[in-house]
A and B are shown apart, each in its own frame.
Chain A
């Protein structure tokens, strides 16, 4: 087996499981997730010369996976400049920054399968970029720098994405939980 082929086989062997898990984490079903991983490796072979070794091969592959997923969903990489969550968040506080509309709903002391189901439903409401940032941070436990490299964004943008993702999920959970009471 030629050296290049062997190296590719090793990369496939070491990363397929992680990429498949991430594709599922992006919200894809089994078949679509496997196809996305296959597309990712195909692209990797085409552009591997661009890999400069500044990040790990896995981070490079995650970046391809993320961009391929955006292409598949045919949605713009850019988010809407105004996200309603900013206003919703602000309205929870008074002019001194104290809670005027405190958080309601379940927390760690009231975990149930139903609550977890609501959270997973809410996750599907996040836009791709927010979901990917949230996934890499919460599930893969990447550092902020690694997430920024993967999504090709600046740290200030990552903070905005995480703020919107987490508050969007919390607001959604509260709304769904109250609708069931």
Chain B
């Protein structure tokens, strides 16, 4: 069991619990400790206060504007922590004077004697007061249903201590200032296991040193269940939304694919009203973006979709994100087809996440209407396939993709399976990669052995030797009837094997 802190309670902590939680605080320094509470009826009593006390003004000492001014001055002279006074006495100018003297002023609506008694109890038993604060925080946390809400409560409660929820280096919520390393600041971490999640998120708080590290940690632990619940809830929400978006996008696609029912609509299909409900815009210039994993592995898990959505939609909450096949579709609509600044900025911001999740990105051209959007989606997908050659984080704009795009569509895995069946001997050979690579280089060079040897960086004779060995295994590249098939096969095998060697084991 951890021992509760017995450090003197601070002004900031007192202001968080009743009775001061209902007051109007003007705190000069929330970290200021409070060692004693004095109920001052007279100025004589005020003059006898010891430093670091909190004084509650009452009766003669709280008769009017002048009395508060004089009390603030005395409090400043006596190095007191704060002055508490009834609202009937405090005006704007008193607040201004308190600020000028850097003296904390707390304006209350309750009876000063009651408040003083409460405060005296809290100051004499700081651990109890802290427990009260934690209980109050727990109540507040329990009311929150979203991750943002939970972190909002934490950040409000901890004031000068920024808190963030982090997963794999990506800030999912809260203040990212919690992550920056600064002098005299210690980072406190609490792990948060999302239900059914392999990876764990961390709740990070940057606590000043010396500071209430223990209390912060217990508050973070307190927030953990709420956070897990909020996470599960938001995943449910996200799953529902993803399904909604998928269905909506399917409808859009059908709209675009259907032959126009009336020939009087040459401009194409209008965006249906329900697209707006999702926040989607289908305008004059729709430029689609395809986010796809470098190595497709079937339909992505909902968790991944959730995280991709979180980072992709940061700052662009209206941009759609539709899970489609092995990737995600998004698009950006604007009036000007050449306006890509927003998109470029978003892509730059997404780069880290793309690398972290091993994604590539394809961008289509801008086209009009729903039909144009579908065309742009197809282009983006094609571009994404081309982008895979450049590894994670790569962005490929369709405008810059030529006929090479066709190669990107080759089902390399299936073709490789064909090779397994047709060229059994070759596939069994230990030097198969070198052989296939050499044949590909010769075919790429249009049969020129010298160019091929130059490209491979080996001697021409080596090329010749490999070619003859390849021919034994059935790679009869110089037979015109088989040349195209073998060229495609070699290309597929080479790109597949190079992926394998590139990919981490």
Q: Tell me, yes or no, whether A binds B.
A: no
